[in-house]
């Protein structure tokens, strides 16, 4: 955190803000940059080839599969509405079926309304384009202005339809448990793990989320062997979930005397924190042990049995906490971590068939399984899932604008992947 305090002393503002943005579903360019007088600008590169092509709104609406899906949705809505309005006899629809149709009408109503608004705007622009052929110059000028406004409205309505088509994930509204663990690379991996943990603490602060440390096991040189934290705040899990996986660092370590570049790894796990309603644990399935805290922490260390270790007997999952002086508070925090781990396991089982290519977060912690590389010599950060590269590693590790940009792009790609799955397209090259 000393590094963060030092960097935070540097003046900030427009000159340091990372203001490049790829709009949702906007097709990215190979090179994006800005020329600003007397300023050092950041440049965003999209590496080639892209693992996924990010399609524009118009490209998506040009797809036959999307148009067919919208027509099918309108037909389902109309059918459900007719059943509820009494045009279909009760003998044809049971009470449970009618209840299901009420739910469907309620869920689809915003989408259907937006589709109707889009149809209306498209008819309006067709009429406006007829006026562009008029002999009166003033009328043609007025029609041109009207046409531009219609095009903007159509674009906004199409984007809204795409947003409404993507189902909201229950876990996206959750808080989360963050776990970081040093991987391959010895002390250097542990030092980098500490930097990444600080980065996420900065990211939480950047979004005004709470960041409550649960575990913090340090190494001899001040690095981190393992740490965990509870993060709470609006959309915290939705914004953090793409950070899960193996992170690779390439740099000359502080411990290296001959100036050689080393490659090390650390892993990040992001576990959604369930509510009491969505997930419960039988107390009989738990073994709770207490012990004396270890490591730096003041006079209470090794004098009271404040550290708590909870084992879930059916699965063998373990959660520990020794950050607080109070045994009760440590128990509460350990239970929170345990519930998140068990809930994550439950979700993984439920979605394993559907998302079997995406779901492994940690793997074997090997260098080849990385999701992201931090190369200090080249001052770049590359996310290998979408082939996106940013520059300025120090600013990225602050957990502010640059991490936000990377995170937003990952969300955009994920939304498109979800949409393609909904449309039944295995390949994005299909139509």
Query: Does 310 reside within a domain?
Result: yes
Residue 33 has pLDDT above 50, yes or no: no
Q: Is the pLDDT of residue 3 over 80?
A: no
306 is in which domain, residue-wise?
283-351
Tens of pLDDT, residues 402-421: 999 999 999 998 888 889 88
335 and 302 within one domain: yes
Query: CA–CA distance from 248 to each of 81, 183, 260, 265, 427 (Å)?
Result: 54, 9, 16, 4, 29
- Supply the pLDDT for residue 236: 93
Identify the helix (H) or strand (E) that includes residue 190.
Answer: helix 186-206
427 inside domain: no
Domain ends where: 351, 380, 404? Answer: 351
**SS3 for 242?**
helix
Lowest mean pLDDT among 18-22, 213-217, 273-277, 330-334: 18-22
Pick from 165, 197, 214: which residue ends a domain? 165
Q: For position 299, what pLDDT does the model report? A: 46
CATH code: domain of residue 320: 3.30.160.20
User: For residue 224, with 0-12 CB atoms within 10 Å meaning exposed, 13-18 middle and 19 or more buried, which class applies?
Assistant: buried
Instruction: Give how many domains the chain has, as a whole number.
Output: 3
Here the CATH number for the domain that contains residue 47 is 3.30.70.1660
Same domain? For 247 and 345 the reply is: no
Same domain membership, residue 328 and residue 231: no
pTM across the whole model = 0.67
Reply yes or no on whether the pLDDT at 118 is more than 80. yes
- The C-alpha atoms of residue 59 and residue 416 are separated, in whole angstroms, by 12
- Kindly state whether residue 426 falls inside one of the protein's structural domains: no
Question: In the predicted model, what is the mean pLDDT of the chain?
Answer: 79
| pLDDT tens-digit map of 268-316 | 999 888 765 566 788 888 999 887 776 554 444 445 678 888 999 988 8
Instruction: Look at residue 296 in the predicted model and tell me its pLDDT.
Output: 53
**Judgement on whether residues 346 and 403 belong to the same structural domain of the protein:** no
- Residues 161 and 63 placed together within one structural domain of the fold: yes
| Sheet of strand 307-312: strand arrangement | 286-291, 307-312, 317-321
Model confidence at 359, pLDDT cuts 50, 70, 90, reads very low
Is the residue at 356 inside a domain? no
Quick check: 92 pLDDT over 80?
no
114 versus 353: which is more confidently predicted? 114
267 and 377 together in one domain: yes
Tens digits of residue pLDDT in 221-278 = 889 999 999 999 999 999 999 999 999 999 998 777 788 899 999 999 998 887 655 6
Cβ atoms of residues 121 and 150 within 8 Å: yes
* Residues 77 and 156 both lie in one domain: yes
pLDDT recorded at residue 216: 92
User: Within this chain, do residues 6 and 132 fall inside the same structural domain, yes or no?
Assistant: no
């Amino acid at each position: 955190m000393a590094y963060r305090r030092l960097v935070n002393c540097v003046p900030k503002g427009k000159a340091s803000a990372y203001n490049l943005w790829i709009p949702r579903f906007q097709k990215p360019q190979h090179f994006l940059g800005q020329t600003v007088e007397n300023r050092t600008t950041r440049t965003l590169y999209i590496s080639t080839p892209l693992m996924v092509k990010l399609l524009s709104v118009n490209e998506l609406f040009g797809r036959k599969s999307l148009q067919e899906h919208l027509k099918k949705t309108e037909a389902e809505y109309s059918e459900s509405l007719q059943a509820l309005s009494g045009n279909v006899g009760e003998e044809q629809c049971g009470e449970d079926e009618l209840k299901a149709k009420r739910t469907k009408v309620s869920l689809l109503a915003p989408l259907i309304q937006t589709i109707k608004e889009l149809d209306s705007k498209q008819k309006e622009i067709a009429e406006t384009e007829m006026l562009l052929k008029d002999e009166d110059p003033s009328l043609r000028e007025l029609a041109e202005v009207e046409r531009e406004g219609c095009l903007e409205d159509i674009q906004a309505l199409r984007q809204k339809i795409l947003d409404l088509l993507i189902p909201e994930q229950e876990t996206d509204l959750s808080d989360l448990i963050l776990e970081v663990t040093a991987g391959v690379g010895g002390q250097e991996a542990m030092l980098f793990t500490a930097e990444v943990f600080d980065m996420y603490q900065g990211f939480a602060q950047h979004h005004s989320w709470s960041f409550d440390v649960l575990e913090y096991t340090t190494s001899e040189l001040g690095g981190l062997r393992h740490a965990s934290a509870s993060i709470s705040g609006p959309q915290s899990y939705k914004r953090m979930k793409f950070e899960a996986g193996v992170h690779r660092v390439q740099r000359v370590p502080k411990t290296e005397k001959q100036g050689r570049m080393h490659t090390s790894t650390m892993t990040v796990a992001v576990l959604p924190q369930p509510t009491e309603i969505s997930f419960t644990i039988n107390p009989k399935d738990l073994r709770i042990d207490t012990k004396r805290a270890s490591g730096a922490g003041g006079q209470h260390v090794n004098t009271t049995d404040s550290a708590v270790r909870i084992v879930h007997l059916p699965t063998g999952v373990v959660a520990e906490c020794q950050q607080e002086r109070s045994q009760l508070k440590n128990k509460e925090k350990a239970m929170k971590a345990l519930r998140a781990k068990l809930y994550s396991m439950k979700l993984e089982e439920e979605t394993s068939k559907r998302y079997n290519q995406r779901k492994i977060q940690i793997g074997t912690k090997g260098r080849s399984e990385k999701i992201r590389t931090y190369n200090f010599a080249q001052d770049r950060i590359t996310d290998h899932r979408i082939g996106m590269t940013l520059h300025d590693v120090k600013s990225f590790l602050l957990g502010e604008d640059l991490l936000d940009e990377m995170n937003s792009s990952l969300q955009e790609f994920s939304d498109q992947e979800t949409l393609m799955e909904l449309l039944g397209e295995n390949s994005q090259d299909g139509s």
